[in-house]
């Protein structure tokens, strides 16, 4: 599955999903005591299996990949609710699904990707808590999916960043994506610095970063390295 997930071609992503489907079918037949000759014995699809396939869709250029990624997430939840406790979605699973939305660039698909992102965020809160990557990916998604001139973008970016601060999850990815998602005026209002100023995580309020698990980081260094 991992090998398939790092390929961007449609057929490899399809192969990854086909292998997942085979795992699901074998698991169900094994559970019912009806094991077939080609079944994969003693293996059940787990959180890593589903997350890997979702990530494969996120990396691909497949049409409708946000909706396809979400369909895998729904299958995962169905299997978890049916008794496969190893298939409980984690924050990594939801982040992978949000990533498929954030990397949807076809203008005709952006509205649907936005809907998928919002519904995925709501569902995430039933199973886990958002982390720094969640918020960074959300900011990237809103930057890509909502036009800069749309006033709703600024309200949503403001709301996401304030909630991120409240959760203590302001990490490097959040600060980097905030540069792109927010106007210079909004960035200055939220951070208290100009968008081109150096920003160290250690210079931000402790409450903003208290739950972030990463080494100290400076925004200007990240920009120069690109």
pLDDT tens per residue, range 83-116 = 999 999 999 999 999 999 999 999 999 999 999 9
pTM of structure: 0.86
Q: Give the 3-state DSSP-derived string for the chain, with helices as H, strands as E and coil as C.
A: CHHHHCCCCHHHHHHHHHHHHHHHHHHHHHHCCCCCCCCCCCCCCCHHHHHHHHHHHHHCCCCCHHHHHHHHHHHHHHHHHCCCHHHCCCHHHHHHHHHHHHCCCCHHHHHHHHHHHHHHHHHHHHHCCCCHHHHHHHHHHHHHHCCCCCHHHHHHHHHHHHHHHHHCCCCHHHHHHHHHHCCHHHHHHHHCCCCCCCCEHHHCCHHHHCCCCCCCCEHHHHHHHC
**What phi and psi values does residue 14 have, to the nearest 5 degrees?**
-65, -40
pLDDT digits (tens, 9 = 90+) for 140-199: 999 999 999 999 999 999 999 999 999 999 999 999 999 999 999 999 999 999 998 888
């Amino acid at each position: 599955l991992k090998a398939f997930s790092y390929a961007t071609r449609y057929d490899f992503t399809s192969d990854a999903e086909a292998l997942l489907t085979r795992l699901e079918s074998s698991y169900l037949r094994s559970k019912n005591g009806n094991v077939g000759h080609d079944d994969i014995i003693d293996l059940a699809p787990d959180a890593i299996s589903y997350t890997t396939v979702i990530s494969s869709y996120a990396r691909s250029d497949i049409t409708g990949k946000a909706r396809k990624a979400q369909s895998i997430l729904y299958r995962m939840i169905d299997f978890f609710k049916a008794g496969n406790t190893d298939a409980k979605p984690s924050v990594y699973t939801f982040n992978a699904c949000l990533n498929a939305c954030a990397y949807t660039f076809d203008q005709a698909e952006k509205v649907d990707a936005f809907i998928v992102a919002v519904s995925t965020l709501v569902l995430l809160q039933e199973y886990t808590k958002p982390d720094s990557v969640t918020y960074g990916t959300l900011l990237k998604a809103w930057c890509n999916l909502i036009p800069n001139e749309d006033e709703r973008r600024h309200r949503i970016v403001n709301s996401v960043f304030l909630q991120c601060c409240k959760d203590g999850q302001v990490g490097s990815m959040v600060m980097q994506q905030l540069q792109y998602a927010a106007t210079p005026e909004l960035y200055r209002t939220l951070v208290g610095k100009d968008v081109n100023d150096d920003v160290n995580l250690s210079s931000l309020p402790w409450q903003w970063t208290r739950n972030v698990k990463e080494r100290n980081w400076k925004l200007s260094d990240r920009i120069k390295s690109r």
